[in-house]
Amino acid sequence: MQPQVNELPELEGPVEGGAAAAGQVPGATDSFEPGPAAAAGPNAGEPSTQIFDDGSRLYRFPDGRNASIPSADQHHQFSTQQLAQRLGLSEGEASDRLRSLSTRLGPDGDRVLAEALATGRMNVGRAGISGLGGRARSADDLESTRVELGRLSGRDVGVVLDNANGGLDARRSNPNAEQQETLRRLLDFNRDAGITTNLSVHSNGVNALSEALRQSPDARLGQVNLVDVNVSGNRATATEQLRRIVQASDRTSLVTTAYDAALGASRADSPIHTLIGAAAAAGVPHIRVLAGADHLLADVRRELERQGPSGPLDFRRDATGRTVPVSPRTWSSLRFEMRDGRLIYRP
């Protein structure tokens, strides 16, 4: 059983102006120490991949294990045989189930499923909204999102589930129905096939994830990386959204920006008001808080590269299970202070 964590209050602070909003956060002035590299670095269990001209791949794991998949034109046949053997299905039944899912995953669906069945893990990205009006992403936009989510998580994200929601959906924290249904089917498939699902989630993608886990309460996740996620504006609902993810995963991490203009336009307001407290209450063990970045994935990645795996605005769980700032004095310099286990803004 996880220890009880304290629920931080809805921090009252300026959304515009001030040192944090300008990215001028002072250095730590107390006993702050950088956290472990694993907090934002690569997953040590990820294999290296060698790709051959015919589309076949060889995976080498750090522990010395190898896995492989055949040429591109044999990906579906390979997966069909693997799935039929694992689940005791006929090859026709296995093929139909794979086709149903690979179509939803896009042009790389056959390769992604073959790789997952060979290696036992699948790294999936979940995009946020696509423009203020909402639209399907182009192939180039999906590839850019896939690369950035991979850099942020330290894992090679194999496929990104698109999100055609727009600004109004983001403001209301509405899940994208197509993204939600694809993930639900993917979670069920990976559970049945014994595949670990690692997720990298940006912004509005968190809402479809939480709803998919509500529909598949027995789903299990590996590593989940949340980036500036657009949770509900209601603290209790946001906490439940994130708790569902924490309880389903082996490890959940959060990276967010103290004064995120895009999240500030939603009902969740800035992370200072809702997200950080909800994540603490839900049991997220390491909450990474940036000042000199905004909502775009590339901006967050550059700021993480600049600051390293942890910083003086972060929160971590202490030995008693409370989620506390690692550097109270740094927060104090931004006019926040701890009172009775709460971080309160001093106007």
pLDDT (0 to 100) of residue 123: 96
The per-residue b/e assignment along 120-151, b for 16 or more CB within 10 angstroms, e otherwise, is ebbbbbbbbbbeeebeebeeebbeebbbbbbb
Confidence class of residue 222 from pLDDT cuts 50, 70 and 90? very high
Greater model confidence, 36 or 214: 214
Q: What are φ and ψ of residue 273, in 5° steps?
A: -85, -35
For residues 40 and 301, is the Cβ–Cβ distance under 8 A? no
Domain with CATH 3.40.50.1820 in the chain: 18-34+120-345
**Residue 43 pLDDT greater than 60, yes or no:** no
Please state, in angstroms and rounded to a whole number, the distance separating the CA atoms of residues 338 and 107. Answer: 51
Does the domain at 18-34+120-345 match CATH 3.40.50.2000? Answer given as no
Residues in CB range of 138: below 8 A, 6 or more apart: none
For residues 343 and 329, is the Cβ–Cβ distance under 8 A? no
**Residue 90 pLDDT greater than 90, yes or no:** yes
Q: What is the pLDDT of residues 151-205, one digit of tens each?
A: 999 899 999 999 999 988 888 889 999 999 999 999 999 999 999 999 999 999 9
Tell me how crowded residue 221 is: count the other CB atoms within 10 A of its CB: 22
Structure tokens at 180: 């939600």
Please state, in angstroms and rounded to a whole number, the distance separating the CA atoms of residues 244 and 232. Answer: 14
Please name which of 222, 274, 278 lies closest in space to residue 251, comparing C-alpha atoms: 222
Q: What is the pLDDT of residues 93-122, one digit of tens each?
A: 999 999 999 999 999 999 999 999 999 999
Pairing verdict, β 121-126 and 196-202: parallel
Number of residues written out for the chain: 347
66 strand-pairing partners: 60
Residues in CB range of 141: below 8 A, 6 or more apart: 130
* Average pLDDT for the chain: 85
The upper half-sphere exposure of residue 332, i.e. CA atoms within 13 Å in the direction of its Cβ, equals 10
Write the DSSP symbol of residue 25. Answer: P
Average pLDDT on 19-32 reads 48
Residues in CB range of 133: below 8 A, 6 or more apart: 166, 167
